[in-house]
Amino acid sequence: MLKQLLFGLSLLITLGVFAYTMRRLFYNFRYTRPKKLRDFCKRLKITFEVAILQTKIMRFPFAGLLHALVFWGFIIILFGSIEMVVDGLAGTVRVFGFLGWFYDFLTGAGDVFAFIIFISIIVFLARRLFFTVNRFYGLEMKPVSKADANLALSFILLLMVSLLGMNTFYLLDAQAAGRAVVGSYPVSALLAGWFEGMSAGQMHFWHEFNWWFHILLIFVFANVLPYSKHFHVFMSVPNVFVSRIEPLGVVDNMDSITREVKLMLDPTLAADAPAEAPSRFGVADAEDVNWVNYMNALSCTECGRCTSVCPANITGKLLSPRKIMMDLRARMKEKGPGLAKEGGQYDDGKALLGSYISEEELWACTMCNACAMECPVNIHQPSIILDMRRYLVLEKSAAPGGLNAAFTNIENNGAPWQFSPHDRLKWAEELSMNKID
Amino acid sequence: MENKIAVKVPVMADVVASGHQPEWLFWVGSAGAFDDRYRKVTREFAKILAYLGTDYAVLGAEESDSGDVARRAGNEMLFQMQVLTNIQILNGYGVKKIVSCCPHDYNTFKHEYPVLGGSYEVWHHTQFLQKMIESGKINIKSNPFDGKTIVFHDPCYLGRANNEYEAPRFILDALPALNVEMKRNRSKALCCGAGGGQMFKEAEKGNKEVFIERTEEAIATGADIIATACPFCMVMMSDGIKYKNQEERLKNYDIAELVSMSLGL
């Protein structure tokens, strides 16, 4: 009974802290701009492919496959974690055992996956600590980002060790006490051989220890995650669902501009055009992005696939698509509390564009979409980059000189170069070809 | 060899005035009309259209910039002005099908014009040429590239943006040449460096220009020809070849030019 009480109390604290953090994070969504979602069926399909089947992460086959195994393993193991919560509250042991062969399957798969994840995490840690994987480096990868990554991996490593420990000593404990084993534990059965010399009391202790260690670590981890880039664990699947589903080449139309342009072309429309221009065109600060952009930022786990394929970054320019996402997330975290207190008027003298992201970064983008193509969770970095360019051009007239000249030419003579529209057919003059029979 | 025939390029205003509605609009694009190098591509493609007897017309002086550069450089106002005026002309002529040699124009017509009231069936010239080869209307027999190796550079706005990786490769496979791939190809292709308005501005500070990185990758394949399918890519790859002093050994052709040469036009 004491055990149940202790468990219930820790669960309550976990949920309480988690709810508090979530409220603070999700409160920020109300400062973002709206964006409508359509095509729910298509979204479900994309979520199944990209999130569940992990198709995009496999584009980097080695790390991709390991990640997919970890992800699938987590899904299976989640079942066991839910069971632990029920067991903890109800004072039962392996309460879902009544599921029979299905339980054997889930526990067996979970046990094997725990081992696979353990190995994968060792590989991941080794890649970060002992090898030089280029995408783990970059201007935005400060020591704290690296520590964050290693901390998350260490958490998972300990979770897997304690899970395998729990299963191993569960087998030994049951054996010593003459109880029937519920479920199947192929890897732990092998590990059990190492500990057969232990006394029954020790076996019982280590089972209890690993059980508590595992579940409490989950509780702590769940509350560390929202402060870590590894919050991605919660956000990625929903992010894929709400992510952009248009082909990569499409840019969101600015309807506010359409109204203005139509008015310019036909002033008689003025009467029935309601004046609801946004506070500003484009994005200058965190609250100018739409809610999907912010969701993207919360889902980014800083893997750097985007930056590793960015032509600007590869050739030594400042732009890093990963940094754009990290900056948006950091800026929202910084500005959110002030916005909550003082509302939309809040001004801390800083802005996403300027204090975090420089014009130099934005103008280095070729809009090639290589970053978005690689993002395993369907983040669309170019749309934020473009929205900030839009702010610079539409609000500040601050485009680089060459582009301003191109704009002027398009306005004056319908081409980015200074040629007369009447010369548009020059290429066709004296055109002839060989006669082919 | 005096076996030349004049190629007359039909202009939409004249064709429609004569009471005929052409099946295709050939959208030449600003680069196709004004860039010295890409004008050659436009000419070769027009020759192919003449050879095929395609029922088409161009807008000529009535054509204006598609707006792609303006939009991707952040000038949404200018983009939409261009789109709305272009749509007035296109819809005025009752245009249904557009073929363009520029992936950027192809992309914006296909995906971005419909929202603003202009819906057309849009083809990139490589898709058009693929169709003509498949249907047997283009039948390549001659051997101008015998013993040559061709490497294709994917344009971002045909490939990643529109998922069209195979049409250009289908055409190249129909040519009697050996095709090789760069390490980064199809959806992993490296941009030439000219998209998103870069064509018209100085590159930001870095340790290399993107077009040099990409040209080096193409050179490393040992190919004799870099095949491109985009006016911006062509400027960049041609510059890269010059920069690397490879003009003697390595040529850059648009896929339309390769087809035209194979047909002996």
pLDDT of residue A92: 95
Q: Which of B213, B221, B106 is nearest to B163 (CA)?
A: B106
Cβ distance A416 to B69 less than 8 Å, yes or no, reads: yes
Q: Which of B91, B96, B113, B92 is nearest to B104 (CA)?
A: B113
Beta bridge partners of A33: A290
Region A194-217: what's the mean pLDDT? 96
Q: Which residues contact A132 (CB under 8 A, 6 or more apart)?
A: none
pLDDT of residue B135: 97
pLDDT of residue A353: 98
How many angstroms separate the CA atoms of B239 and A229, rounded? 42
Q: Which residues contact B202 (CB under 8 A, 6 or more apart)?
A: A400, A402
Amino acid at B80: Q
Query: Concatenated DSSP letters for A239-294?
Result: HHHHS--S-TT-----HHHHHHHHHHH-GGGGGG------SSSS-SSGGGSBHHHH
Look up the ipTM and state it.
0.97
pLDDT of residue A436: 79
pLDDT of residue B141: 84
Q: Smallest CA–CA separation between B65 and chain A, in Å?
A: 5
How many angstroms separate the CA atoms of B5 and A91, rounded? 93
pLDDT of residue A437: 67
Per-residue confidence at B106, pLDDT binned at 50, 70, 90?
very high
**A70/B contact by beta carbon, under 8 A:** no
Closest chain A residue to the Cα of B208, Cα to Cα: A315
Host H or E run for residue B124: strand B121-124
Closest chain B residue to the Cα of A390, Cα to Cα: B74
Neighbours of A195 (CB within 10 A): 15
**Is it the case that residue A272 has pLDDT exceeding 90?**
no
Between B34, B78, B212, which is nearest A407 by CB?
A: B78
Q: Which residues contact A109 (CB under 8 A, 6 or more apart)?
A: A76
For residues B221 and B181, is the Cβ–Cβ distance under 8 A?
A: yes
Between A368, A389, A419, which is nearest B191 by CB?
A: A368
What digits encode the pLDDT tens for the residues A220-249?
999 999 999 999 999 999 999 999 999 999
Query: Concatenated DSSP letters for B133-153?
Result: HHTTSS-----TTTT-EEEE-
**Is it the case that residue A273 has pLDDT exceeding 80?**
no
Cβ distance A249 to B5 less than 8 Å, yes or no, reads: no
Chain B residues closer than 8 Å to A244 by CB:
none
Chain B residues closer than 8 Å to A315 by CB:
193, 206-210, 212-213
Q: Which of A277-286, B98-107, B126-135 is least confident?
A: A277-286
What digits encode the pLDDT tens for the residues B137-183?
999 988 899 899 999 999 999 999 999 999 999 999 999 899 999 99
For residues B30 and B100, is the Cβ–Cβ distance under 8 A?
A: no
Per-residue confidence at A291, pLDDT binned at 50, 70, 90?
very high
Host H or E run for residue B240: helix B231-243
Region A210-221: what's the mean pLDDT? 98
pLDDT of residue A309: 98
Closest chain A residue to the Cα of B117, Cα to Cα: A258
Q: Which residues contact A363 (CB under 8 A, 6 or more apart)?
A: A389, A400, B201, B204
What digits encode the pLDDT tens for the residues A326-379?
999 999 999 999 999 998 899 999 999 999 999 999 999 999 999 999 999 999
Cβ distance A311 to B191 less than 8 Å, yes or no, reads: yes
**Is it the case that residue A290 has pLDDT exceeding 60?**
yes
Dig out the tokens for B92 from the structure. Answer: 């005025």
pLDDT of residue A274: 61
pLDDT of residue A263: 87
**A399/B contact by beta carbon, under 8 A:** yes
Region A290-303: what's the mean pLDDT? 98
Region A103-131: what's the mean pLDDT? 98
Supply angle C-alpha A292, A240, A312, rounded to 5: 75
Chain B residues closer than 8 Å to A254 by CB:
76, 80
Domains identified in chain A and CATH numbers: 2-230 (no CATH), 255-343+350-418 (1.10.1060)
Q: Are strands A432-434 and B4-6 parallel, antiparallel or unpaired?
A: antiparallel
How many angstroms separate the CA atoms of A27 and B102, rounded? 45
pTM of the model: 0.96
What digits encode the pLDDT tens for the residues A4-34?
999 999 999 999 999 999 999 999 999 999 9
Cβ distance A436 to B51 less than 8 Å, yes or no, reads: yes
pLDDT of residue A266: 82
For residues B73 and B196, is the Cβ–Cβ distance under 8 A?
A: yes
Closest chain B residue to the Cα of A371, Cα to Cα: B188
**A418/B contact by beta carbon, under 8 A:** no
pLDDT of residue B37: 97
Residue ranges of A 308-337 with Cβ closer than 8 A to chain B: 309, 311-312, 314-319
**Is it the case that residue A269 has pLDDT exceeding 80?**
no
**Is it the case that residue B61 has pLDDT exceeding 70?**
yes
Region A192-211: what's the mean pLDDT? 96
Percentage of residues of chain A with pLDDT beyond 70? 98
Q: How far apart, in Å, do the first and last CA atoms of chain B sit?
A: 12
Per-residue confidence at B105, pLDDT binned at 50, 70, 90?
very high
Region B60-73: what's the mean pLDDT? 98
Cβ distance B11 to A407 less than 8 Å, yes or no, reads: no
Let me know if A248 is exposed, middle or buried by CB neighbors in 10 A (0-12, 13-18, 19+). Answer: buried
**Is it the case that residue B125 has pLDDT exceeding 70?**
yes
Between B71, B74, B84, which is nearest A399 by CB?
A: B74
pLDDT of residue A83: 98
Phi-psi category of residue A430: left, alpha or beta, with phi > 0 → left and psi -120 to 50 → alpha? left
Percentage of residues of chain A with pLDDT beyond 90? 93
What digits encode the pLDDT tens for the residues B186-235?
999 999 999 999 999 999 999 999 999 999 999 999 999 999 999 999 99
Radius of gyration of chain A (CA): 28
Cβ distance A427 to B198 less than 8 Å, yes or no, reads: no
In total, the C-beta contacts within 8 angstroms joining chain A to chain B are: 247
Neighbours of A303 (CB within 10 A): 22
Let me know if B53 is exposed, middle or buried by CB neighbors in 10 A (0-12, 13-18, 19+). Answer: exposed
Amino acid at B262: S
Between A389, A411, A428, which is nearest B73 by CB?
A: A389
Per-residue confidence at A267, pLDDT binned at 50, 70, 90?
confident
Region A211-226: what's the mean pLDDT? 98
Q: Smallest CA–CA separation between B85 and chain A, in Å?
A: 9
Handedness of CA A327, A331, A333, A334 (dihedral sign): positive
For residues B153 and B226, is the Cβ–Cβ distance under 8 A?
A: yes
CA torsion A262-A244-A146-A26 (nearest 10°) is: 80
**A432/B contact by beta carbon, under 8 A:** yes
Cβ distance A414 to B64 less than 8 Å, yes or no, reads: yes
Chain A residues closer than 8 Å to B117 by CB:
none
Chain B residues closer than 8 Å to A423 by CB:
33-34
Chain A residues closer than 8 Å to B200 by CB:
402-403, 405-406, 416
**Is it the case that residue A275 has pLDDT exceeding 80?**
no
Between B195, B206, B265, which is nearest A315 by CB?
A: B206
Domains identified in chain B and CATH numbers: 12-130 (3.40.50.1860), 140-263 (3.40.50)
Residue ranges of A 220-279 with Cβ closer than 8 A to chain B: 246-251, 253-254, 257-258, 260-262, 264-265
Chain B residues closer than 8 Å to A251 by CB:
71-72, 112
**Is it the case that residue B2 has pLDDT exceeding 70?**
no
